[in-house]
Structure 1
Amino acid sequence: MPDRVGPDPQYDVFADEFLEHGRDGLYNAHYDRPACLDLLGGVAGKTVLDAACGPGLYAAELVDRGASVLGFDLSPRMVELSRRRVPAGSFRVHDLAAPLDWLPAESVDLVLFALALEYVDDRVRALAELRRVLRPGGALVLSRLHPTGDWLRHGGNYFEARVIEEVWSRGWHVRYWLSPLEQTCAELREAGFLIERLVEPRPQPEAAAINADAYRRLTSEPTGFLAIRAIPDPR
């Protein structure tokens, strides 16, 4: 197995299916999205960068709450879906492996980076770029797969960062990084951030009607996602 994910826009193949899945599904609509939006706090009148924006589900919520949204994704189809879903936003195709040279330093108030950290090979470099474009007093909110859940599913050495390949239940083939929590914390620190909050979300109560087994598991086991709010280190 190569020790990199590479530049392939994996989600392009199933972007439309992902939109249908994420719009009202338990994991996105009733679990990760509420957690990330809560950590972002009030967004009215603020400029939010939606990094790895997917099909615009988070962006739509942000615009509804009064934010100005800029977004990008590696997948051209995801960007197309975002533009269609959120005409008030501004979206483009961009690879986080490259600098955000289309954004000036200190030009956005908040950055959202939801469930995409695992697909980036040079995470410190990408996070440092997100740090560069944040205004003083801004914050980054990111979510990722819970590393304990990854370890319980895949076994091996929890502390060894490695690339794995999976086929998810809908037949989606994905390749991404497994890494321990301490590595994510260290990468944020190296990129110039301080962690302000770390939460292990539980799904909203209405999720129980969608999938009772998943709801029970996510409210009692560390097998889903976690979310972090980090601020630029002023020191």
Structure 2
Amino acid sequence: MIGSFPQYEVFADEFLDHAREGFYNAFVDRPACLSLLGDVAGRDVLDAACGPGLYAAELTARGARVTGFDLSPRMVALSRERVPAATFRVHDLGAPLGWLPSASVDLVLLALVYEYVDDRVAMLRELRRVLRPGGVLVLSRMHPTGDWLRHPGDYFTPRVVEETWNEGWHVRFWLSSLQDTCAELREAGFLIEQLVEPRPVPEGAAVDPLRYERLSHQPTGFLAIRAIPDPRRG
């Protein structure tokens, strides 16, 4: 189990400095998620596990009304400083969103946090509840193939692993298969509209040619999904 400890709290400021222009974040995941969200002007967007507000800043700049939350109080403080036009609060993604009415948002963004949640079906059901008819969920997660290459073993049995990133950032997260992610979405009442394995945007080639080349040809980065509430399930 992962539990509700805010793992990123201890390195929140460092993470902001890293993710602002970090290759994986700035040239792979953010462009992919924003593309899947589409035109957000005039729409209500829930930025679930918002981190330091990098996605929220771009969404607000594109005309969205953003509400965000994160388990880390420091991440929420950084988001408020970065995006004063949005609304943020401290909240555990694994807990019900009792402060949000049903059918109150048009879009939900769930970027690079899926693997930190123990009961992902319950989380997804709650996100489906707050989506309006015609709403969209966009989620990204670490690519299950890349996870398996770093942690060989039984690909099909979910398990918790530990890694140390960058300057000693220690994290624990779930390894799970692509099949499991698709099944969890279906069980929670979603239909997958689009699934992409994002490759770096062209601007990344000049920033880090070696990483650009590797991520352009190997499934070791991220996975991104655009899903809609299944209209057959009410």
Is 1:34–2:44 an aligned residue pair?
no
Question: Structure 1 residue runs of 4+, over 2 Å off?
Answer: none
CA distance in 1, matches of 2:101, 2:129: 8
| Aligned-CA RMSD value | 0.6
Please name the residue that 2:110 is paired with: 113
CA distance in 2, matches of 1:109, 1:16: 30
Alignment of 1:181-200 (within 5 A): 181-200=178-197
Match of 2:95 among 92, 95, 98: 98
Match of 1:21 among 13, 18, 23: 18
Is 1:48–2:45 an aligned residue pair?
yes
CA distance in 2, matches of 1:57, 1:97: 22
Letter in 1 for 2:128: R
- Structure 1 stretches lacking a partner, 5+ long: none
CA distance in 1, matches of 2:43, 2:94: 26
> 1:35-73 CA deviation, whole Å, 9 max, x = no partner?
000000000000000000000000000000000000000
SS in 2 for 1:226: strand
Match of 1:169 among 156, 166, 169: 166
Alignment of 1:104-183 (within 5 A): 104-183=101-180
Percent identity over the alignment is 75
SS in 1 for 2:203: helix
CA distance in 1, matches of 2:64, 2:28: 21
Q: CA deviation at 1:158?
A: 0.7
Please name the residue that 2:220 is paired with: 223
Please name the residue that 2:3 is paired with: 6
CA distance in 2, matches of 1:68, 1:131: 19
Please name the residue that 1:71 is paired with: 68
SS in 1 for 2:19: helix
SS in 1 for 2:231: coil
CA distance in 2, matches of 1:144, 1:203: 15
TM-score, normalization: structure 2?
0.98
Please name the residue that 1:211 is paired with: 208
Q: CA deviation at 1:169?
A: 2.6
Please name the residue that 2:84 is paired with: 87
CA distance in 1, matches of 2:166, 2:10: 15
Letter in 2 for 1:100: L
Q: CA deviation at 1:212?
A: 1.7
Q: Provide the aligned length of Structure 1 versus Structure 2.
A: 232
CA distance in 2, matches of 1:216, 1:169: 21
Match of 1:57 among 43, 54, 66: 54
CA distance in 2, matches of 1:85, 1:55: 8
Letter in 1 for 2:111: A
SS in 2 for 1:205: coil
> 1:7-51 CA deviation, whole Å, 9 max, x = no partner?
110000000001001111111111100000000000000000000
